[in-house]
Amino acid sequence: MALDSLKNGLKERVRACEDWWFETTRHVQTSGLMARPPASKVVGEIRDSHIYGPVRVANAHAALRDLPLGGTQNGGARGGDYSRYTFIDMGSGKGRVLFVAAEYPFRKVIGVEFSNDLHDDAVANLKRYKYPGRRCADIEAVHADARDFEFPDGNLVIYLFNPFGPEVMERMLANLERSLEKHPRHVIVVMLWPDHSDVVEGRAIMRVYRKTRRHHIYEAGERP
10 Å CB burial of residue 160 (0-12, 13-18, 19+) is buried
Which among 4-12, 157-165, 177-185, 213-221 is the span making contact with ligand SAM, rule CB under 6 A? 157-165
Of 71 and 93, the one with the shorter C-beta distance to ligand SAM is 93
Of 67 and 97, the one with the shorter C-beta distance to ligand SAM is 97
Is the CB of residue 70 less than 8 Å from the CB of residue 155? yes
In the bound state, the residue with its beta carbon closest to ligand SAM is 91
Could you say which residues in the range 61-120 bind ligand SAM, by CB under 6 A? Answer: 89, 91-93, 96-97, 112-115, 118
- Identify the CA nearest to 189 among candidates 175, 204, 201: 201
Give the single-character DSSP code of 164: B
Query: Taking CB under 6 A as the rule, which mask of x and - marks residues 20-59 in contact with ligand SAM?
Result: ------------------------x----xx-xxxx----
Phi, psi of 118, rounded to the nearest 5 degrees: -65, -40
Of 68 and 93, the one with the shorter C-beta distance to ligand SAM is 93
Of 71 and 112, the one with the shorter C-beta distance to ligand SAM is 112
Q: Is 24 helix (H, G, I), strand (E, B) or coil?
A: helix
CA distance 44 to 187: 25
Is the CB of residue 122 less than 8 Å from the CB of residue 111? yes
The single residue among 22, 87, 104, 164 that binds ligand SAM, judged by CB under 6 A, is 164
Of 47 and 207, the one with the shorter C-beta distance to ligand SAM is 47
Strand partners for 178 = none
CA distance 88 to 208: 19
CB of 137 to ligand SAM, least distance (A): 21
CB of 218 to ligand SAM, least distance (A): 17
Of 66 and 145, the one with the shorter C-beta distance to ligand SAM is 145
DSSP H helical ranges for 65-215: 96-101, 116-128, 166-182, 197-201
221 sits in the region (left: phi over 0; alpha: psi -120 to 50; else beta) called left
Query: Taking CB under 6 A as the rule, which mask of x and - marks residues 110-149 in contact with ligand SAM?
Result: --xxxx--x--------------------------xxx--
Q: Which residues bind ligand SAM (CB under 6 A)?
A: 44, 49-50, 52-55, 89, 91-93, 96-97, 112-115, 118, 145-147, 161-164, 168
